[in-house]
Amino acid sequence: MSPSDSSPAHRFGLRLPERISESQAALVSHLKHQGHVSDAMLEACLAEQEITGEKLGLILTRNGFITRKTLIEAILTLNPTGIVGEQQYTSRVPAEILLRTKTMVVAETQDKIFLATLSAEDQVRIDVDPYLLGLDLIFVPLNHEQLEDYLSEVRRLAEDKSNFAERLLRRALVEGCSDLHIVPRYSTYSVFYRHLGVRHLAHEGSLDEYNTLAARIKDLSRMDLAERRMPQGGSFELEHEGKIVDLRAATIPTSNSEMIVVRVLDPDRVQPSLNGLGVTRVEDWRKAVRRPDGLCLICGPTGSGKTTTLNASIK
């Protein structure tokens, strides 16, 4: 159904495709009105949607134009019942609880988690409350067609031993960590997560497991698997809940092995707008980065926001 010329999207001057649902047109208008996306971003994603047939929100988050949090908040603002169509495979709730109770994580925001279940809600609440860390638990109607596929994917992610590195990384994303530190010892190894600048132990395993994990991360990062005497660096990407997460890996030789550090650059924790970064004389910066010649320097120590500023400038 084509929106009329008087629709909110047309008032913003956005060219919409011929076939677009009213709910999608409302989402487009809302995101544009709130300043989350530009016409160029929306038109590019709508063009991609015509080819892939995927949800517009998924395409927007995957391309890094909005965060998943922004998408969920927009859906809740426009049509709270529309949240039923969402799903999230990785969350604070352990996979074994989701499988046992036949429960689906629909979405998470800063202070809420939305679940749909076939089990008694009171029992599910008892099972998941210890993992929610102060989040409000909201039950929504269950989409039965989605549940079987959802639980199959959760089971696959939980049982596939070859995905151990991926599971560690996804858990770090769920917990909002900035780095993983993989530290080999004499007969074991440890995985530490860094959260808000503080490291805490996340996993302890055997050296055989460490060798498999180290090889997987080095392979993903396109490092030399045979080189253990020199420091190496690399990067790779991971698709997580409809968004692309950049990961930077570095190895440091030790007396008998290598310590590995992985920096997690989660777009949901990055402010994608220059206006929200607090840049002094931001309009002068915009003019400078638009010039076809010259040089713009973004400098500062680790964690000061260089990559965040660069990403926001490019977007």
CB atoms within 10 A of CB 213: 19
| Least confident piece of the model among 180-189, 218-227, 261-270 | 261-270
pLDDT at position 180 over 50: yes
pLDDT at position 2 over 50: no
- CA gap 138, 299 in Å, rounded: 43
Sign (positive or negative) of CA dihedral 78, 83, 89, 90: positive
- Kindly state the average pLDDT of the residues 116-145: 86
- Kindly state the average pLDDT of the residues 156-181: 82
pTM, to two decimals: 0.59
Task: Convert the pLDDT of each residue in 200-221 to its tens digit.
Answer: 999 999 988 999 899 999 999 9
Task: Convert the pLDDT of each residue in 248-298 to its tens digit.
Answer: 999 999 888 899 999 988 766 665 677 777 788 888 998 999 898 999 999
CB atoms within 10 A of CB 139: 14
pLDDT cut 70: percent of the chain above it: 89
Task: Convert the pLDDT of each residue in 34-88 to its tens digit.
Answer: 888 888 888 888 888 888 888 888 888 888 788 788 888 888 888 887 787 788 8
pLDDT cut 90: percent of the chain above it: 20
Which pLDDT score, from 0 to 100, does residue 64 have? 76
The residue to which tokens 């988690």 are assigned: 113
**pLDDT level of residue 10 (50, 70, 90 thresholds):** very low
Provide the β-strand partners of residue 235.
248
- CA gap 124, 8 in Å, rounded: 41
